[in-house]
């Protein structure tokens, strides 16, 4: 295996506590080809659990929340947009607001200093007005100009003016940033090396990721990916993690002690064992663009591959279903992921989605207990 590239993360002994929050919201009926290509038969719809992250700095007594999931009262969206959803056969289910989920477990949500949008898409923006007026909303570069003001000043938007009225909206600016984490421009949020924002545009103007140091000596980090990828097949394989000849744990025979032959997937590779199965889908003429800039999105994914090369970094994208069978979720912490082996257990789990195309005829028994559905049953 080639040596992982140096990311030049500044040394620090400061850490934050991170919990991965399953926001309970789900989108049904999202065809994967809207998001990435080529089509691989049997992998038709995206399974979309939606994660947020609770980030607590115990030494400074400061708390932020990265991404908010879908708002519970999504009927508040402009009717025209809801109709568009229906016409595409997409449906949404949201049992709880994220603040309710945090409150139920006794998190002091009144003192949350900031909520963060990885990007201003409806499955990440929640409803900031459910938080205290003193809670700042943090967004990536260019987001204010791109999406504000919200509805009703603008008609075709899922962001409502009422969501952020009277609240400080702070836009990150990476231009003066002296720090680079790998190839990502970075901002040291708490000023002590415990948490960075990373500039990762492409899917959206102002798309950002978070990088939290969750242990020191040895260092380990959780990368909060937002939608830098929508499926791990856009990330892997890559130069530092080429498709192995034998894959363990077996991605679709969980209880099997025998590894899965990598050869099964060779016919699905697009360009050898060091290139991911999928690329972000290009925008098609006459259709609503899904990625703001698909080429730029791919550049951000290449930067992410350098991060993913490191076994002490857990890459957690917002919709990574295969964390479900392996990781601990809020209210449990995720700080001990390294000791618990989540990186190795989840690295190739996404191949379960490619079982049918790989010619596997048995019943797929995969880690993420979550079936992508064409529509809500």
Which residues are at the interface with Zn ion (CB under 5 A)? 123, 227
Preceding amide of 121 cis, omega within 30 = no
Cα(151)–Cα(85) distance, integer angstroms: 17
Whether cis (ω within 30° of 0) applies to the bond prior to 125 is no
CB of 182 to Zn ion, least distance (A): 23
Q: In whole angstroms, give the CA distance from residue 6 to residue 234.
A: 22
Which ranges of 48-126 does DSSP label H, i.e. alpha helix?
A: 79-87, 98-104, 122-125
Q: Measured between alpha carbons, how far is residue 223 from residues 70, 81, 198, 304, 334 in Å?
A: 21, 32, 9, 9, 12
Specify the residue, 236 or 291, whose C-beta has the smaller distance to Zn ion.
291
Least distance to Zn ion from the beta carbon of 317, Å?
A: 9
In angstroms, give the least distance from the CB of 183 to Zn ion: 23
Q: Which is nearer to Zn ion, 9 or 101 (CB)?
A: 101
Distance of CA 87 to the CA centre of its chain: 26
Residue 231 tokens, joined:
């499926």
Which CB sits closer to Zn ion, 123 or 293? 123
Instruction: Work out how close the CB of 118 gets to Zn ion at its nearest, in angstroms, rounded to a whole number.
Output: 8
Nearer to Zn ion, 193 or 280 (CB): 280
Residue with token string 């019943």: 363
Closer residue to Zn ion in complex, CB, 123/234: 123
Contact between residue 101 and residue 21 where contact means Cβ atoms under 8 Å apart: yes
- In angstroms, give the least distance from the CB of 297 to Zn ion: 13
What is the closest distance, in whole angstroms, from the C-beta atom of residue 228 to Zn ion in the complex?
Answer: 10
Q: In terms of CB distance, is 67 or 253 closer to Zn ion?
A: 67
Length of the chain: 377
Q: Is 253 helix (H, G, I), strand (E, B) or coil?
A: strand
In three-state secondary structure terms, 164 is: helix
List all residues 6 or more positions away from 145 whose beta carbon is below 8 Å from its beta carbon.
none
Please give the DSSP secondary-structure letter assigned to residue 134: T
Is residue 64 a contact partner of residue 224, using CB atoms and an 8 Å limit?
A: no
Q: How far is the CB of 124 from Zn ion (least distance, A)?
A: 6
Min dist CB 28 to Zn ion, Å, is: 14
Separation of alpha carbons 133 and 294, rounded Å: 36
Which lies closer to Zn ion via its Cβ, residue 138 or residue 214?
Answer: 138
DSSP per residue, 265-297: GGGG-SSSTTS-S-EEPPP-TTS--SSS-HHHH
Nearer to Zn ion (CB atom), residue 16 or residue 50:
50
The contacts of residue 244 (CB under 8 Å, 6+ apart) are 262, 348
Task: Kindly tell me which of 146 and 275 has the beta carbon lying closer to Zn ion.
Answer: 146
Taking the least distance from each CB to Zn ion, the nearer of 227 and 308 is 227
First to last CA, the chain: 44
Query: Which pair of tokens denotes residue 75?
Result: 């009927």
């Amino acid at each position: 295996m080639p040596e992982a590239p140096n990311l030049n993360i500044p040394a620090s002994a400061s850490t934050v506590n991170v919990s991965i929050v399953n926001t309970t919201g789900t989108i049904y009926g999202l065809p994967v080809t809207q998001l990435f290509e080529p089509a691989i038969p049997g992998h038709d719809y995206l399974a979309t659990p939606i994660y947020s992250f609770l980030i607590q700095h115990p030494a400074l007594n400061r708390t932020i929340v990265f991404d908010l999931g879908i708002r519970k009262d999504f009927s508040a969206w402009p009717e025209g947009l809801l109709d568009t959803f229906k016409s595409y056969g997409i449906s949404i289910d949201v049992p709880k607001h994220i603040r309710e989920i945090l409150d139920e477990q006794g998190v002091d949500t009144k003192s949350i200093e900031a909520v963060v949008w990885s990007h201003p898409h409806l499955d990440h923006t929640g409803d900031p007005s459910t938080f205290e007026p003193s809670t700042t909303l943090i967004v990536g570069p260019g987001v204010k100009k791109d999406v504000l003001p919200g509805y009703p000043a603008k008609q075709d938007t899922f962001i409502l003016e009422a969501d952020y009225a009277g609240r400080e909206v702070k836009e990150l600016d990476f231009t003066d940033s002296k720090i680079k984490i790998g190839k990502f421009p970075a901002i040291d949020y708490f000023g002590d090396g415990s948490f960075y924002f990373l500039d990762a545009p492409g899917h959206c103007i102002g798309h950002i990721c978070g990088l939290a140091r969750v242990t020191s000596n040895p260092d380990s980090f959780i990368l909060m990916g937002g939608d830098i990828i929508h499926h791990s097949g856009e990330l892997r394989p890559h130069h530092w993690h080429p498709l192995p000849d034998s894959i363990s744990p077996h991605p679709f025979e969980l209880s099997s002690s025998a590894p899965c032959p990598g050869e099964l997937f060779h016919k699905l590779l697009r360009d050898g064992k060091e290139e991911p199965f999928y690329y972000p889908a290009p925008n098609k003429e006459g259709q609503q663009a899904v990625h703001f800039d698909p080429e730029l999105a791919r550049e951000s994914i290449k930067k992410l591959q350098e991060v993913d090369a490191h076994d002490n970094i857990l890459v957690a994208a917002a919709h990574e279903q295969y964390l479900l069978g392996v990781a601990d979720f809020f209210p449990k912490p995720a700080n001990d992921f390294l000791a618990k082996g989540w990186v190795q257990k989840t690295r190739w789990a996404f191949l379960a989605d490619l079982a049918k195309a790989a010619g596997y005829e048995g019943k797929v028994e995969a880690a993420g207990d979550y079936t992508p559905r064409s529509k809500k049953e």
